[in-house]
């Protein structure tokens, strides 16, 4: 990389850090191209990104961002994973690290909160943002459906009573 490419890379990475909510730092000791490709595909499917970056350039991109605290984690062959949904990126990293010992979780940051590897693992055990939203919508809809059934119940009861009187009148007339 020449200087202009390095400057562009640092500015692009700094823009990413400004937009994202979670950054996970991993150490990739000997991952093959096929394994990294598989990891990147899993990340894309979860709405996350995975990038191997030179530590010096990543440290420059971290200056002035809320993820400034992860600088000490950037030693050795590291890679960064990030996403707007913190649970999604941590789940993919933890699941991949379970099946491949070459990827080691170092830690990460959720906004200004620094996390160690166990913190990232704990975050991965939470339900995803979509699951939480679905649960919230379900909780909101449940009382509405109960209210509708309670309001409709007297009308249905009245209709049954009127139908019974109508059948009784028909039976008496016959």
Task: Give the pLDDT confidence of 96-139 residue by residue, as tens digits.
Answer: 999 888 888 989 888 888 888 888 888 888 877 677 778 777 77
Q: Is the pTM of this model over 0.85?
A: no
The Cα 166–Cα 95 span in angstroms is 66
pLDDT value at residue 146: 65
How is residue 103 written in tokens? 């990827």
Residue 44 · residue 28 · CB < 8 Å: no
Phi, psi of 23 (to 5 degrees): -130, 130
Q: Torsion angle, CA of 94/100/105/108, rounded to 10 degrees?
A: -50
How is residue 109 written in tokens? 């940051």
Mean pLDDT of the 36-51 span = 90
| Confidence grade of residue 25 (pLDDT, cut at 50, 70, 90) | very high
* Chain center to CA of 83: 7
User: 3-state DSSP call for residue 54?
Assistant: coil
């Amino acid at each position: 990389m020449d200087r202009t490419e390095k400057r562009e890379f640092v500015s692009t990475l700094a823009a990413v850090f400004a937009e994202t909510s979670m950054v996970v730092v991993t150490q990739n000791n000997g991952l093959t191209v096929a394994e990294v490709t598989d990891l990147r595909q899993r990340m894309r499917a979860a709405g996350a990104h995975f990038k191997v970056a030179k530590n010096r350039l990543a440290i420059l991109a971290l200056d002035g961002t809320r993820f400034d605290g992860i600088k000490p984690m950037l030693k050795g062959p590291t890679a960064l994973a990030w996403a707007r949904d913190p649970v999604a990126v941590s789940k993919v990293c933890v699941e991949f690290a379970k099946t491949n010992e070459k990827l080691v979780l170092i830690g990460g940051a959720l906004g200004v909160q620094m996390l160690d590897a166990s913190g990232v693992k704990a975050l991965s055990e939470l339900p995803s943002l979509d699951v939480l939203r679905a649960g919230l919508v379900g909780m909101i809809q449940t009382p509405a459906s109960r209210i509708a059934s309670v309001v409709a119940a007297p009308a249905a009861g009245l209709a049954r009573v009127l139908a019974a009187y109508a059948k009784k009148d028909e039976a008496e007339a016959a």
